[in-house]
Every structure is written in structure tokens, then in C-alpha cells.
Amino acid sequence: MKRTGNVKLSVMTWNIYLGAELTPVFTACSAEQIPELATQVFRQFLATNFPERAKVIANQIDLKKPDIIGLQEAVIWKLISPDSHMVSYDFVNILIHELRYRGLKYEVAAVNQNAQAALPSSTGNTISLSDRDVILIRDRDDMKVIKKQEANFKNNFQINISKQTFTTLRGWSALDVCFQENVFRIVNTHLDTDSLEVQAAQANELLDGPGKTELPLIFIGDFNSNANENETTYANLIAAGFKDSWIEAGKNKGFTCCQDSDLLNAESSLNERIDFILLKNKKYWGAVKAEAIGQSQLDRTKTRLWPSDHAGVFVKLKLKNCKTNMQE
């Protein structure tokens, strides 16, 4: 029997920052420059110390205890020595370990594998980076994934690095979830930041793909488009029928981007809102509360690192009764 009354659901999205600015490598003029630039990038990643940042990110999750979390830039860094010895920094495993230490059980429900690269360093090692976006679901008896989709975009930005073409592959993942006998779809993504044309095309792929549903629908992620009707991607999503949960339930400006790449700026430099929780098929939804997280001075690590170069977004929702036979 389908339950009556509104169902309360909480959702979080957070770009947890890969830990380094990659631009130096992208601007290499010759192959000879790449090892030194790769070393510089990896050293910045080490300095931004994700294991330490994961503790304060986990603290924020512990405070809110969202039912579903969308993570962007949930990367894996690897340092591989010539004798094949490898040191791996898997952001998802590190964060889940911190959550479990706090008594929170989240499982990886969906992953989309994005751009990957391996470059020689000036120290004789190989540095590998694998970009991923991930959906985590809190372990609950009344919530079950009934369908999963993971895909890369057909439209992706390409850049020439030392006369070689590199594709900044991005994608999306989607879950159909049955929660207290109500079914909805949630889509997590990270759109392109280098080309507005590519970014808009990726958003259209979402609308024509997982966005084509009559289910209650949530888009979450880093859309790299400011919440402004003059911004093409944001405007197109709103025109397609999505409602911005921050406008409905948030306070203040809700800026989410961006801190300095070394995460050490003394005062917050967040000045635009590009991370969203968007709702469609509104007859099923009600946004009760929206908050930015990880943007306060109190949220920083003991060594004064910001948790990420982005703030996260947390939203409490009311999911009104919808039919359980709407799976697609």
C-alpha cells in the first residue's frame, strides 16, 4: 500500500575539488615542459591535503545527514614509481572512511568516469589523474535504487597540449530511487567550464536523455553557469521547466564558487552561484530549506584550508505522493 502524506528527503551536492589547478599543464608549449609542470601540479595537490579536507567535509555531512549526495571532482590521484610501486589517493574511499568513523554508512550508488591522464614527472615518476562524479546514498531500509544509468557526454571540450589533442571528457549519472514507496529520479553532473557552447550542448544532452521523464526529477551538480537568466545554460534549464531550489528556499546569495586554488585565502572569495539542486515536475516537489555549506571560517581545517574551492548545497525537500508504477 502506498503511504499517504508528504515524504521528507534531503539532498546535497558538492564539488570537493581535485586539489590543484591544472592550467599550467594545459598551457605547456612543448613536451619538454610537461614533466616539471606535472610535478608542480602534483605538489599543489599534496599541499591542499585531501585527507585533511575530507575530515571537515565529513563533519558537514554528519551535521546534515543527507539521504543522497552528489560529488563532483571525486578524483583518484596516483604516483607511480619506475618499479611500479604506486601510492593512490582515492577521494571517495578516503571520504567514506571518514564517514564510517563518524558512524555514518553511505554507499557508492553510481559513478561516471570522466577524463583520465597520466604524465611523466620531473622526479622520474608517473602522475595519474582520473576524474569521476559520484552519487552516494545513505543506508536506509526505506530507500532502494531501482535503476541506474551512467554515461559520458557526446559533446566535450578538446584542448591541444604540446601538439596533442586532449579531450576533457565529462558525463552524468542517474538513479531511479524508491523512497518510502515513492519513486523519483536524480541526476548528478559536472558541466564544462572552458566552452560555453560545449557546456550548453551538454545540458541539452541531459534534457534529451535522463531529463526526459515524468518522474519527479532532480538535477544536481556543478553546472559552471551562474544563476542568472543571461547565462545560457542556466536559462535553458529554467526554460525547460526546472525550478531552482535555492530561489524557493534559500537565504542570501548562496554563492558557491570559488576559493583560491591553494585554498588558503584568508577571506572567502565565493562570488557566484554555479552549483545547483534543480527540481522538475513540480507538482511532486516542495523545497523546504536550502543552505550553502563549507563556506564559513569555522568550516576550515586546522591548517586553515577551505574544505573545497566550492561550497556545497544542501536542500530539504517534501516529496508528495507519486505512483510507484512510474519506473521507466
- Distance (Å, rounded) from C-alpha 230 to C-alpha 227? 9
Instruction: List pLDDT tens digits, range 126-174.
Output: 999 999 999 999 999 999 999 999 999 999 999 877 667 889 999 999 9
pLDDT at 228: 86
- 162 φ/ψ sector (left φ>0, alpha ψ -120 to 50, else beta): left
When pLDDT is averaged across residues 206-223 and rounded to a whole number, the result is: 96
- Distance (Å, rounded) from C-alpha 13 to C-alpha 300? 18
Q: How confident is the model at residue 323 (pLDDT cuts 50, 70, 90)?
A: low
Q: Give the per-residue SS3 of the chain.
A: CCCCCCEEEEEEEEECCCCCCCHHHHCCCCHHHHHHHHHHHHHHHHHCCHHHHHHHHHHHHHHHCCCEEEEECCCEEEEECCCCCEEEEEHHHHHHHHHHHCCCCEEEEEEEEEEEEEEECCCCCEEEEEEEEEEEEECCCCEEEEEEEEEECCCCEEEEECCEEEEECCEEEEEEEEECCEEEEEEEEECCCCCHHHHHHHHHHHHHCCCCCCCCEEEEEECCCCCCCCCHHHHHHHHCCCEEHHHHHCCCCCCCECCCCCCCCCCCCCCECCEEEEEECHHHEEEEEEEEECCCHHHCCCCCCCCCCECEEEEEEEECCCCCCCCC
Instruction: List pLDDT tens digits, range 13-27.
Output: 999 999 999 988 888
Q: What percent of the chain has pLDDT over 90?
A: 84
Instruction: List pLDDT tens digits, range 249-264.
Output: 999 999 999 999 999 9
pLDDT at 268: 97
Radius of gyration of the chain (CA): 20
pLDDT, mean over the chain = 93
Task: Provide the residue type at 304 as one letter.
Answer: R
pLDDT at 282 > cutoff 80: no
Task: Provide the residue type at 209 as one letter.
Answer: G
When pLDDT is averaged across residues 31-53 and rounded to a whole number, the result is: 95
- Distance (Å, rounded) from C-alpha 176 to C-alpha 197? 29
Instruction: List pLDDT tens digits, range 166-178.
Output: 899 999 999 999 9
Give the class (CATH, top level) of 7-319. Answer: alpha beta
When pLDDT is averaged across residues 290-301 and rounded to a whole number, the result is: 97
pLDDT at 5: 57
pTM higher than 0.75 for the full model? yes
